[in-house]
Amino acid sequence: MAKTIIISNRLPLTIQKKDGTFSYSESAGGLATGLGSIYKTNNMLWVGWPGINLKTDTERIALKIELLKENLFPIFLTDKDIENYYVGFSNKTIWPIYHYFTQYASFHHDLWLSYKKVNRIFCDEIVKLYKPGDIIWVHDYQQLMLSSYLRQKLPQATIGFFQHIPFPSYEVFRSIPWREEILKGYLGADLIGFHTYDDTRHFFSCLKRVLGIENNLGKIEYEQRTIHVDAFPMGIDFEKFNTSASEQDTTAKVLEYKASLGDRKIILSIDRLDYSKGIPQRLMAYESFLEKYPEYHSKIILVQLTVPSRYDVSHYRNLKIEIDELVGRINGKFGKINWMPIHYIFRAIPFTHLSALYAISDVALITPIRDGMNLVSKEYVATRHLNTGVLILSEMTGAAKELVEAIIVNPNDKEALIASLKKALSMSKEEQKKRMTSMRNTIRAYNVHNWLEIFMGRLAYTKELQKEKASKFISSKNNEHILKTYKKAEKRLILLDYDGTLMPFFNNPYDAQPDKELCSILDLLTADDKNQVVIISGRDKNTLTNFMDDFKVDLVAEHGIWYRKGIAEWKLSGQQTESWKKEIMPFLKMYVARTPGTFIEEKDYSLVWHFRKTDSEFGEMRASELMANLNYLTSQMNLQLLEGNKVVEIKDSKVNKGKVADLWLEENYDFVVAIGDDRTDEDMFKILPKWGHSIKVGHQETSAKYCVANYQDVRELLLTFIKSIE
Ligand code: GDG
């Protein structure tokens, strides 16, 4: 039976060895608790580092056997690997950069090499565990290269990737020296998931700016695979928290806590020890609140539960010292014999204690400076089954996008934090119930089971889409049906676009003279008297003549405005006018002046604005603006606006590649093929007879029957035509 292999840095258990036997406890942390509810009940195997270094093979095998009973598979790493890959690259480079703490980031090539080495170790183990039909699900920032390593070894595998932390904006991401490689690491997956739309937006922007990869409504075409990228806001196990508050163990703990904390309002904060969680800022705001509102002295207690984390990174140790000092200072300043304003716990506590804390707290104060999602806020809401309680939530958390009825605050705004505490402590029960009911409905509906189902559904859909597309792809090895008709034919028409189809794109379009290989292909193709080759291009007729004069080909220039059969003179397709140019030209000049790196190409009866040499996002924004500006104007003038590959072109709307292709199709051909990469080539594809062969270069949506990946594949294909006759 096919299984799902979950991969994360750590297994969701903390393992200890005492007197030769192993004992386990559940790990704290978002990924462990989030997925903890699902991996046991489904056919899943969770692969990760067990968090313990065992020296002998006997010990390792013993632990492996134990863990396999729990659907867990350990990957053993050396202390040095952990130091460099996890403590080092993951937590000193990726974590601070991805959370916008650039001042804490360090960049060391050795750590990067170690990170890749460990991702490879994971890859090798997973390849051994993998069986066809299995689903591989990679998690989080410690395994950013793993999907691409797996893809190299298991080209057909179904691979999902989910990132639990934010994806930063391009301006921050670009500071990583290995940014290209890291981005390509993600692209081994079929589905890439983030918590929020903002994360996906930043990811797309980086793909475009760093790798030049475009997305189309969340779809990316990369190495002949369609990849989906989307936001999947992670939920929690709602029922587990909802029912926990009424369970006996929890209620007993609630009574115990109430007895020791007294009849006071409880404010609760729970975080892993992390600078991204905004703990000092929160404590300072609480201090100011107590200064501003002395009437609350003795009436409220802040319970700050901080779970130790990443103690081997110096910033975390310093943070601990800072928190200890702040708690000491505030308790020293305001505390009395019978009241301490902060109740500080620095350790992980069992689940029942945690739910008891959620249950007794009147306010949850959750104020990270940056947080991918934040599950604590959701757990608080799920535990509040009586619909009372107030959630104060930082707008910098992914959860704030869903929990809109919380009091949303900017965690850097101390005054706002103070005001939010005041508002929460004075909120009426009716208001609390209204807000809490609504938040609970959201958390109940978008729970972790639902999250899993949606992610897996989308992954399956992506795979289906890939199969559908793959069936359209042909190559030099898989085109027998076309070759058969080619060989049989007596009179063949071969319609070929030029840029992007026979030649790659160049920054300077005039650099695209045919190279040696293309010259030889065209010579061989046209040496066969049965072949009529037509180069059907958007280029101006002079450039096209210059590029193609040595070949026995017919030519079409300016998307069909000009055509030339054999060595005859160039002819115009119908009546053309260029008087409109003087009205359009000033617009284009204005866009050139405002957009450095762009330029205008003037053809006889069309104008083109090129933006290939400018920043890709900037160029596209300007192109949309230009299109919007020209849209109205051109419709009054029988002109057509074409958005091509990094160009905006304006030409007569009556002419297109399809209409001009008709001039050849009227003759009696018994083999027709049309190959092109551009949107303008679709007109040509649509006009072919049913039995003709239309071939799109690239992965974009098309009406063509077949696809090839790039211009090199086009050349290979043409060579197979030639060879089939020899
Ligand atoms: C990462 C992202 C994203 C805490 N103390 C104890 C304890 N916990 C549990 C909580 C909660 C989890 O740890 C913390 O999850 P968060 O989501 O709040 O934060 P991170 O650990 O930073 O998680 C985060 C998450 O991944 C999921 O994608 O939301 O943005 O940073 O579940 O209950 N559990 C126990 N004892 C404790 O003392 N048993």
Residue with the smallest CA separation from ligand 1 atom 13 is: 29
Confidence of residue 1 (pLDDT cuts 50, 70, 90): confident
pLDDT at 40 over 80: no
215 with 176, same domain: the answer is: yes
Residue 263 CB contacts under 8 Å (≥ 6 apart), including other chains: none
pLDDT bucket at 473, cuts 50 / 70 / 90: confident
Quote the pLDDT of residue 76.
94
Do 339 and 388 lie in one domain? The reply is yes
* Residue range 398-417, pLDDT digits in tens: 999 999 999 999 999 999 99
Mutate to test the pocket of ligand 1, among 33, 98, 343 (most ligand atoms within 8 A of CB): 33
Of 190, 199, 497, 554, the catalytic one is 497
Mean pLDDT of the chain: 93
| Domain at 609, CATH number | 3.30.70.1020
Is residue 287 one of the residues assigned to a domain? Answer: yes
Q: What is the CA(270)–ligand 1 centre distance, in A?
A: 9
Residue 692, in any domain of the structure: yes
Q: Are residues 277 and 225 in the same domain?
A: no
Q: Would the CB of 30 count as within 6 Å of ligand 1? A: yes
Q: Last residue of a domain, which of 628, 652, 676?
A: 652
Query: Could you read off the pLDDT of 599-609 as tens digits, one per residue?
Result: 999 988 899 99
Region 555-581: mean pLDDT is 91
Give the CATH number of the domain where residue 707 resides.
3.40.50.1000
Q: Is the CB of 400 under 6 A from ligand 1?
A: no
Q: Are residues 528 and 627 in the same domain?
A: no
Residue whose CA lies nearest to ligand 1 atom number 26 = 30
Q: Is residue 709 part of a domain?
A: yes
Query: Which of ligand 1's atoms lies nearest the C-alpha of 166?
Result: 30
Pick the range with the lowest mean pLDDT from 11-15, 185-189, 664-668: 11-15
Q: Is the CB of 307 under 6 A from ligand 1?
A: yes
Pairing of strands 554-557, 562-564: antiparallel
Relative to beta strand 13-18, strand 21-26 is antiparallel
Range of the domain at 49: 4-231
- In this prediction, residue 714 carries a pLDDT of 96
Final residue of a structural domain among 181, 212, 231: 231
Specify whether 324 is catalytic.
no
In this structure, the answer to whether residues 349 and 428 fall within a common structural domain is: yes
DSSP notation for 169-219: -HHHHTTSTTHHHHHHHHTTSSEEEESSHHHHHHHHHHIIIII----BTTE
Instruction: Looking at the structure, tell me whether residues 530 and 608 fall in a common domain.
Output: no
Q: Are strands 265-272 and 407-409 parallel, antiparallel or unpaired?
A: unpaired
Mean pLDDT of all residues in 524-546: 95
* pLDDT at position 324 over 90: yes
Render pLDDT for 691-710 as a digit per residue (tens, 0 to 9): 999 999 988 889 999 999 89
Whether residue 364 has its Cβ less than 6 Å from ligand 1: no
**264 and 144 both lie in a single domain:** no
Query: Is residue 13 a part of any domain in this protein?
Result: yes
Q: Is residue 465 part of a domain?
A: no
Q: What is the β-pairing status of strands 599-602 and 606-610?
A: antiparallel
Ligand 1 neighbourhood includes 372 CB (under 6 angstroms): yes
Output the pLDDT for position 25.
79
Q: Which domain-ending residue is among 436, 468, 486? A: 436
Q: Are residues 313 and 400 in the same domain?
A: yes
289 pLDDT above the threshold of 90: yes
CATH number of the domain at 321, please: 3.40.50.2000
Nearby residues of 68 by Cβ (< 8 Å), 6 or more positions away: none
Contact 74, 67 (CB under 8 A): yes
Ligand 1 touching residue 371 (CB < 6 A):
yes
With 80 as the cut, is the pLDDT of residue 29 above it? no
Q: How many domains does the chain have?
A: 4
**Same domain flag for 354 and 418:** yes
Q: Is 323 in the pocket of ligand 1 (CB under 6 A)?
A: no
Q: Which atom of ligand 1 is nearest to the CA of 345?
A: 38
pLDDT of 31: 76
